Every structure is written in structure tokens, then in C-alpha cells.
Amino acid sequence: MNNKSTNVVWHQATISRDKREQLNGHKSVILWFTGLSGAGKSTVAHAVEDRLYNMGCRTFVLDGDNVRHGLCSDLGFSERDRKENIRRIGEAAKLFLEAGVITLTAFISPFRQDREIVRNLVPHGEFLEIYCDTALEVCESRDVKGLYKRARAGEIANFTGISSPYEAPVDPELCLETGKDNIEQCVEQVIAMLRSRALIK
């Protein structure tokens, strides 16, 4: 059975992305936070959003756990399902980009190829990969949700860093040492990057 959409034509909006960006007073961009579970992706992404919101920017965070409650609630954690999870997030983030929103995504997104596919969905420079670089032992020591303990006990299959690989970015736009720097320092680095690229004032 072929479930692909047919007889569909993209409808061009009368309000362009440029007009939305002018109204917002900043450019739209995808900030793609990637790293192991416990590396601080969600924490940093939400802290960056807080800062941007207080600066008057239009923002939205797509968080891994939250998305799996709705958009991707039908997916498991097999390699195939993880790829589909990231594909859907990429397409959602692309729509937010067109809406003129600074979109922050916090997903392990363990496979380089999948992240590259999302990068290629949008024009050059509009997908900024931010690697939350934290050693596995530090992530395990945090283990806020108790997931590493369960994975080590064999209770969770295909757990990234334990029974499933994580492919670290080779050349990310920004690398945050979330095991060493505090939240405020990480936020400052992200804001500095956005300013250096003239995405925000």
C-alpha cells in the first residue's frame, strides 16, 4: 500500500518569510542541540530561549520527550524509528523557519547522516548544529531520569551511549562543553554565535 500524498501542490503564502522576519526584528534559524542523554541539551535550549524571549525574539523549543508525546508518539527507539523521528522534527523545524521563528531543537539525534539530512532541508547557514559535548561518565553521573541505570541493567534496549552508538558531530557550528561550563556560560556562547551571524541584534 502506498501512503504517499498525491495530487498536492505547495501553496505559496501571501505573507513571506522576509516579511515575518521584518515584523519580528530578527532572522529565523534552526538551532539543533545534539548530544548524549544528560548532556544538557534541553536545559541549555530552554535557557537560550528564555534569554531570546527577554530580548523580544520569537522562539519555540522542540524537545525530544515532548515531541514523542504527540507528533512522534507512534515511534519506538529502533534505528528506523529514530531516523523517522528526526525526519519529522526536521520537517517541523523547517515550517517554523518559514514562520520566522528561531527554532531550538533538543534531541539526541545520534546519527550524523540523519542530522545532515535535516541540514540539507534548508538553505546554507540556517541549520546551526550545537554539540553539547559531555563525557559519558558525566552524563551517567547526572542520570536525572534513571535511564542509564536501567540501560546498564538491560531494561532499556537501544540506549544511546550504552547499547546504541552516538556519532558526534565532526564540524558543528558550535561546541558547548556542558560538562565544564555552567548554563550561563553556554547561553552566552550561543547568543554570541547568533550575533556574529547577524541573526539577532
Give the residue numbers annotated as catalytic, written as ranges: 109
Question: In this structure, which amino acid lies at residue 13?
Answer: A
From first CA to last CA, the distance across the chain in angstroms is 50
Grid coordinates representing 154 are: 538491560
> How open is the CA angle 44-45-51, to the nearest 5 degrees?
90
Coil, strand or helix at 140: helix
The residue among 6, 29, 46 whose CA lies nearest residue 186 is 46
